[in-house]
Amino acid sequence: MLLIVAQAGSRLNTIHYTQMPQRRGREAYRVFVSYSHKDRWIAKQCVRLIEQVGTARIRTFLDERDIEVGQHIAEEVLEAIRRCDEFVVLLSPNSKDRPWVTFEMGAARSRKKPVMAILHNLSPQEMPEMIYPYKAVDLNDFEAQYLEQLRKRLETRRK
């Protein structure tokens, strides 16, 4: 499932679904977070809330925290995307046209990862074309929509 939260009246052409990964047991659910460094504070708050939802059951990837000095950035990013269960992108005027964010979104889509777009000061019509047809969530609804749906995915996984 590709989730990108949009408001009523937005364009919706075709809908593509990717099945959510089915993991069981004690393995952590991995969430990759993509963002512009200009939105770093917001991204960190999203990560904090995501990790609170799953306590020890969720492992987030945040580049500034998880890539160490001397590591190859592109290789680490691609490996983290390969291993993630879902990909969260914080889309804002700062990030929507950034080369790294576009690279990460393309890598997630090519690996058929569920993509969850969180919109901050951006309308659904301003989303990058590669994810435009999908539902997105406004940052103001992050807790009520995205986090609640994440809780449900984690509960389903535990059963």
- What domains does the chain contain, in order, with CATH numbers? 3-158 (3.40.50.10140)
Nearest residue to 55 via CA among 121, 140, 150, 146 = 150
- Full DSSP string of 70-125: TS-HHHHHHHHHHH-SEEEEEE-TTTTT-HHHHHHHHHHHHTT--EEEEESS--GG
pLDDT for 157: 78
Q: 36-58, pLDDT tens digit by residue?
A: 999 999 999 999 999 999 777 89
Token pair listed for 119: 């919109």
- Give dist(CA 58, CA 65) in Å, integer: 15
pTM listed for this prediction = 0.82
Q: Give residue 2's Cα distance to chain centre.
A: 10
Q: For residue 59, what is the enclosing H or E element?
A: strand 58-61
- By the 8 A CB rule, do 62 and 89 touch? no
pLDDT for 27 beyond 90: no
Pick 133 or 128 by higher pLDDT.
Answer: 128
